[in-house]
Amino acid sequence: MEHILHAVRCQYLTPNFLREQMKNCDVLKKVPACREYLAQIFKDLTLHKKPVVKERTPNTRRVIYIAGGFLKHSLDVLEGYNVDEKTWTQHAKLIVPRSGLGGAFLKGMFYAVGGRNNSPDSRYDSDWVDRYNPVTDQWRACSPMSVPRNRVGVAVMDGLLYAVGGSAGAEYHNSVECYDPDHDSWSNVKPMHIKRLGVGVAVVNRLLYAIGGFDGTNRLNSVECYHPENDEWTMVSPMKCSRSGAGVANLGQYIYVVGGYDGTRQLNSVERYDTERDMWEHVSSVTIARSALSVTVLDGKLYAMGGYDGEHFLNIVEIYDPAKDTWEQGVPMTSGRSGHASAVSYHQCPIHCDHLDHNMSLEKPPS
């Protein structure tokens, strides 16, 4: 039995799931060797150790989804870029146009979180959360956040969706809340030390990092790290450059921060944080200085998409190869935009996620 268990990538299960299995599973109670194996994995996860095995990448269609954004007004578009076919495809529109939103895939669904509806006939910051099912090409409304969050940072950790910082009008948030998709509910966690609008977020080894942003007075170079075990934020080494509205994503042990705005100008500089050494270093710059771009990871490369260069809304896509420390041009987006959200889907929505849409109807936008 233990040999079968060793063939499973248990390192990518959540600590809560492992705890429940070790407590309640009758099979594990009868096979001590299996329980001890899972106990060691549980310990490594809670100590935030780097997994000893690589996460399996499904050999299926890979799509980068881009939602919302701003081009003269907030957008309701959802587009998918098929990396293998190098084509962009239009999908079902957002329920409400939004820019400054966050996005992430969780359990096969794409979540669009917060943002601002900045349209000719409507201007308001949003607490809305919508979920897109790639199989049915439909959006569903989820429970809203506790407060509106424009230019919010969004990340997934332990099967939960975290919404970090942002703003509601002139109120800048240091608050953080997390969403449980199985219960369609939000709960607050410990707030950050600093208020952050336009914050970048990333997760490495079950630690959530909040990077840079704007506190209402200054652009920030400070970085905080959230430990879910003790519900605490700790300060780590600051970036070399203060910036808000940067594109942020992680590759392995590194967190990359691309472009942004320093309070005077848009930036083309890129720096990366080594989470194991608590050190920052510069890497090759992007071609065009820009802020309010989105960055996502696919096949071990960074995709930096769109943004604003101080005069124009960009459709440019640049792809970074960390092995060569070089950027190359990708297939541009169908139109320029800034303040959009992006995330990667490797596969269709799992069957076990169908229950997420039960008893939920398509929603109409608020009046």
> Within this chain, do residues 120 and 268 fall inside the same structural domain, yes or no?
yes
> Within this chain, do residues 29 and 172 fall inside the same structural domain, yes or no?
no
Domain count, the chain: 2
Tell me what the mean pLDDT of segment 48-56 comes to.
77
Beta bridge partners of 291: 308
> Within this chain, do residues 277 and 327 fall inside the same structural domain, yes or no?
yes
Instruction: Report if residue 55 sits inside a domain.
Output: no
> Within this chain, do residues 13 and 95 fall inside the same structural domain, yes or no?
no
Tell me the C-alpha distance between 278 and 149, whole Å.
Answer: 29
Instruction: Report if residue 367 sits inside a domain.
Output: no
Instruction: Report if residue 366 sits inside a domain.
Output: no
Instruction: Report if residue 53 sits inside a domain.
Output: no
Residue pLDDT, tens place only, 252-308:
999 999 999 999 999 999 999 999 999 999 999 999 999 999 999 999 999 999 999
Tell me the C-alpha distance between 203 and 177, whole Å.
Answer: 15
> Within this chain, do residues 38 and 73 fall inside the same structural domain, yes or no?
no
Tell me the C-alpha distance between 255 and 271, whole Å.
Answer: 8
> Within this chain, do residues 132 and 268 fall inside the same structural domain, yes or no?
yes
**pLDDT value at position 234?**
98
Instruction: Report if residue 57 sits inside a domain.
Output: no
> Within this chain, do residues 339 and 225 fall inside the same structural domain, yes or no?
yes
69 pLDDT more than 80: yes
Tell me what the mean pLDDT of segment 39-66 comes to.
80
Q: Which residues lie below 8 Å from residue 87, measured CB to CB, with a gap of 6+?
A: 81, 331
The owner of tokens 């989820």 is 142
Instruction: Report if residue 138 sits inside a domain.
Output: yes
> Within this chain, do residues 7 and 145 fall inside the same structural domain, yes or no?
no
Tell me the C-alpha distance between 296 and 312, whole Å.
Answer: 22
> Within this chain, do residues 26 and 94 fall inside the same structural domain, yes or no?
no
Instruction: Report if residue 73 sits inside a domain.
Output: yes
Residue 72 tokens read as 């003269």
Residue pLDDT, tens place only, 300-329:
999 999 999 999 999 999 999 999 999 999
> Within this chain, do residues 89 and 26 fall inside the same structural domain, yes or no?
no
Residue 272 is part of a domain; what is its CATH number? 2.120.10.80
Instruction: Report if residue 58 sits inside a domain.
Output: no
Q: Domain of 229?
A: 63-356
Weakest-pLDDT range from 181-195, 284-298, 300-314, 333-347: 333-347
> Within this chain, do residues 134 and 247 fall inside the same structural domain, yes or no?
yes
Weakest-pLDDT range from 51-55, 201-205, 320-324: 51-55
> Within this chain, do residues 70 and 39 fall inside the same structural domain, yes or no?
no
Residue 5 tokens read as 């268990």
